[in-house]
């Protein structure tokens, strides 16, 4: 009788351990799912705290999330484009590339001009939407398809405004897209970049020794028309996008790279932003 009792107890313990293991696996799966959703959810929460209106707008074949705010009436629209966010995670394409640092939302809040934050294809919780695929936020993050879809959204915004001029503001990889988009619009009045990858080939080789196959490169494009006011800023301590790599590209675009002391890739652009806006207005 006792061996049977022991075997029964062992069976109960085995079932208990199995249930415990399955529970831990379930908890881990839930945590992973929450973690994947967190960047877009956190970004949206930041936008709500700043009283921005969230809209989903059709581009070409992609959808885009945009955040807007009321501003003083004017003929110019300011378009803000954020960084590349997190294209890769643990060596694999991220499930949600949305920026973890909503810097451009905070900079937009300081701008009294009518302005919008323009989300990229497949960012801000849209990565599962067709025809999204990882190349759109990894190697092809600055591709012609991405630029054309962003341009479609802005053309609609200009028409609906209506606005006769547009100024582009881009941070990091958003600065790359701002320059590429500025060339597509005769309405472009100005383009301002901070810590931008103005030479994507040089930057990719420096950052991970690879390339961005399928992406456009502002450094090999034609100079921007002379009527477009250009301001390209870089932090003297930026090790993510080193200024010395970007200065030649800024020169080819028709402007000097402005080096800001005591700034790096993320610090301290909020402190400098009011001065940057005033300089552009002058």
> pLDDT truncated to tens, each residue of the chain (282 aa)?
444 444 444 443 443 454 454 544 343 333 334 444 489 999 999 999 999 999 999 999 999 999 997 666 779 999 999 999 999 999 999 999 999 999 999 999 999 999 999 999 999 999 999 999 999 999 999 999 999 999 999 999 999 999 999 999 999 999 999 999 999 999 999 999 999 999 999 999 999 998 999 999 999 999 999 999 999 999 999 999 999 999 999 999 999 999 999 999 999 999 999 999 999 988
Tokens 């609906």, residue? Answer: 160
Cα torsion 91, 94, 97, 100: sign: negative
Q: Are 78 and 148 in contact (CB under 8 A)?
A: no
Q: How many CB atoms lie within 10 A of CB 10?
A: 10
∠ CA(82), CA(85), CA(89), 5° rounding?
A: 175
| H or E, element range at 193 | strand 188-194
The DSSP annotation for 129-165 comes to STT--GGGTTTTTT-HHHHHHHHHHHHHHHHHTT-SE
Q: Tell which CATH classification among 3.40.50.620, 2.60.40.10, 3.40.50.360, 3.40.50.1820 matches the domain 38-281.
A: 3.40.50.1820
Give the whole-angstrom CA distance, residue 107 versus residue 88: 25
- Tell me: cis bond preceding 25? Omega within 30 of 0 counts: no
């Amino acid at each position: 009788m006792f061996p049977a009792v022991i075997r029964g107890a062992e069976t109960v313990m085995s079932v208990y351990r199995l249930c415990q293991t399955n529970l831990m696996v379930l908890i881990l799966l839930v945590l992973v799912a929450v973690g994947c959703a967190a960047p877009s959810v956190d970004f949206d929460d930041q936008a709500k705290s700043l009283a921005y209106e969230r809209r989903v707008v059709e581009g070409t074949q992609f959808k885009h999330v945009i955040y807007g705010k009321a501003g003083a009436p004017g003929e110019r629209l300011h378009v803000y484009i954020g960084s590349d966010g997190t294209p890769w995670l643990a060596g694999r394409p991220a499930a949600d590339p949305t920026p973890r640092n909503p810097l451009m939302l905070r900079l937009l809040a300081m701008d009294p001009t009518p302005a919008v934050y323009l989300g990229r294809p497949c960012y801000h919780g849209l990565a599962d939407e067709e025809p999204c695929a990882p190349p759109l936020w990894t190697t092809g993050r600055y591709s012609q398809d991405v630029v054309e879809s962003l341009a479609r959204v802005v053309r609609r915004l200009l028409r609906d405004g209506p606005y006769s001029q547009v100024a582009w503001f881009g941070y990091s990889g958003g600065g790359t897209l701002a320059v590429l988009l500025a060339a597509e619009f005769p309405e472009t009045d100005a383009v301002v970049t901070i810590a931008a990858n103005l030479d994507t080939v040089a930057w990719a080789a420096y950052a991970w020794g690879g390339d961005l196959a399928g992406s456009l490169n502002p450094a090999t494009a034609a100079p921007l028309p002379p009527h477009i006011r250009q301001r390209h800023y870089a932090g003297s301590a930026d090790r993510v996008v080193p200024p010395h790599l970007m200065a030649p590209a800024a020169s080819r675009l028709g402007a000097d790279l402005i080096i800001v002391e005591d700034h790096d890739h993320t610090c301290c652009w909020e402190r400098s932003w009011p001065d940057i806006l005033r300089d552009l207005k002058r």
